[in-house]
Every structure is written in C-alpha cells, then in structure tokens.
Amino acid sequence: MIRTKSGLPRHCSWNLDRQNGKPRVRFRKGGLSTYLRGTPWSPAFMAQYAAALDGVMEKAVTVGAKRTLPGSINALVVSYYRSPEFRGLKASTQTMRRNIIERFRVEHGDKPLKGLGRAHIKAMIGTKAATPEAANNLLKVLRTLLSYAVDMEMLPTNPALGTKGYKSEGEGFHTWTESEVGQFQIRHPIDTRAGLALALLLYTGQRRGDVVKFGWQHLRGDVIIVRQEKTDAALEIPMLSELARALQATPRNKSDIPGDGVRQAFHTRRLWQLVS
C-alpha cells in the first residue's frame, strides 16, 4: 500500500471539520467523495478505505459498460472486473492486476476478441521487449484474463497459453551478508527507527507489506500472531531475543508498532543507502 507525503493512503487527504475544527480524512477518487472515520491505517479505517475503492470501481465498471462494444477486449475487461474470480482477490492483487489491464486497454480495448491468436499475443508483449519483466507480467495477466474469456465462451481457446515469455535479466535483489547487517546495526541501533525496521524484518522473516501492519495487539506472550496478506495464512512467530530487545526500546504510545517514521523507512527504496 502506497503512503503519500501526508501519511495517508492514496486518494486521501486531511480536511478540517467546519464545525469543530478537528482534522478528518477525506477520500476522493473518480467522482466519489466520502469521509473515513477512525485512526488512519487501523483495521476499521482500512475497511472503509477498501469499501470506498470498491465504490469507485463499481462506478467505473458501470460507466464503462455503457461505452464498450460487444465482443471487444473492453467488454471482456468489464465482465472480468465484475466476476467472483477478480473480486475474490486480495485488494493489493486487484490493484496490481488492474494497473496492468488498464494500460493494456488503452492500446487494445476497442479491438475485437474474435480472431485473437497467439501471433497477436506475441506482438503485444513484444512491444515491451525492452523491459522483460513488464512483458512477462503482462503475459501472466493475459493468460488469466483470456482463460476467463474461454470460461465465458467469449473465446474458443486461450491464445496466451503456450506463448513464451522473456528470460529475466540480472540476478535479482541482493541478499545482505552478515557483515552488511552488522554495519547497518552499528550505524542504526535498535532504539532508532531504521534499527526497529530492520529488526522487524530480519527477526520475523515476513514481507514488508505484513510487517508495516504489526501492532502491539499481535503480541501474545513470546509469540507474534499475524495473518499474511498475500497467502491469508495465520502464523505464530516466535519472539527472538533480539526482536524483544528492539521492542522494549520502542514507546507504546500508539497501537501500531512501526509508526509513521518506520513505515517511511520501509517504503523508501533507498533503505540500502543507510548501510555505511
């Protein structure tokens, strides 16, 4: 989830209540405007945020349905967005997949599905040959989207199946060595924001998106209870002594453990530059 400079999710902003002068969070996107109650990033707040996004999506799909040509790629996309297959995805997965689909629609939305073949798919992903990962991501989404088209009898077969992607370049993300971790810990002790960020990641082994949601309420004695966003798996993570020391140095003045400053450290792409 992207955090803006205001410390709020995307499409949200702070507004002062005209009656009592207190700050409120306003959600505005796609012609929909509503106020969200509660503490930003809390479960109750995020439930309202998700409902607001669903409202925007429903409005967009309804408007889009009136403008689409039957049998076109746009018609397929509108139908897919309404499907239980799409709506059953995690919010983060929906957002990622929708971003790819919408960019694809800009170029090909008005084109007919009929006659779509493997050569067309190869040409479509070929336009992204300079960015192999982007090409492969598009191919993965097209496989899913066109499989849905087959299920809905909009296509006889899925031309994306069997289409080869590009070979990934590079060696992926560098894994820190023990020496690099040690350098970071010397420069950023456990009582600092960056030190706490490292401890939470290092001693729980969880994804960044899960770690930023940790709260004191997830602590149960010497274990951390967490449900992973991506897999929906419920875990009991043993509390290692190193993490326990880091948490002892953290004030309990908020319900969330990371806090705004640590979340900012998680979400920046320059965290590695802190290593001396």
Kindly write down the DSSP assignment for every residue of 230-273, as one continuous string. Answer: TT--EEEEE--HHHHHHHHTS--SSSBSSHHHHHHHHH-TTGGG
Within a domain: residue 167? no
- Rounded to 5 degrees, φ, ψ at 26 are -110, 130
Query: Both 237 and 131 in a single domain?
Result: no
d(CA 275, CA 4): 25
Question: 5 lies in a domain?
Answer: no
**Domain identity same for 114 and 188:** no
* CATH number of the domain within which 182 lies: 1.10.443.10
pLDDT band at 275; cut points 50, 70, 90:
very low
pLDDT at 15 over 90: no
The verdict on 66 and 145 lying in the same domain is yes
Q: Which of the pair, 33 or 161, is modelled with greater confidence? A: 161
CA distance 104 to 120: 13
4 lies in a domain? Answer: no
262 lies in the same domain as 193: yes
Over residues 232-247, the pLDDT tens digits come to: 778 888 888 888 888 8
Q: Are residues 38 and 134 in the same domain?
A: yes
Same domain, 123 and 195: no
If asked whether residues 22 and 132 sit together in one domain, one would say yes
pTM over 0.75: no
Q: How far is CA 90 from the centre of its chain?
A: 9
Write out the residue range of the structural domain in which residue 238 sits.
Answer: 178-274
Q: How confident is the model at residue 269 (pLDDT cuts 50, 70, 90)?
A: very low
Task: Look at residue 141 and tell me whether its pLDDT is greater than 90.
Answer: yes
Indicate whether 18 and 142 sit together in one domain: yes
Residue 145 lies in a domain: yes
If asked whether residues 42 and 137 sit together in one domain, one would say yes
> In this structure, is residue 161 part of a structural domain?
no
User: Is 78 within a domain?
Assistant: yes
pLDDT at 147: 94
Indicate the residue among 133, 151, 169 that finishes a domain.
Answer: 151
Number of structural domains in the chain: 2
pLDDT tens for each residue of 169-178: 666 667 778 8
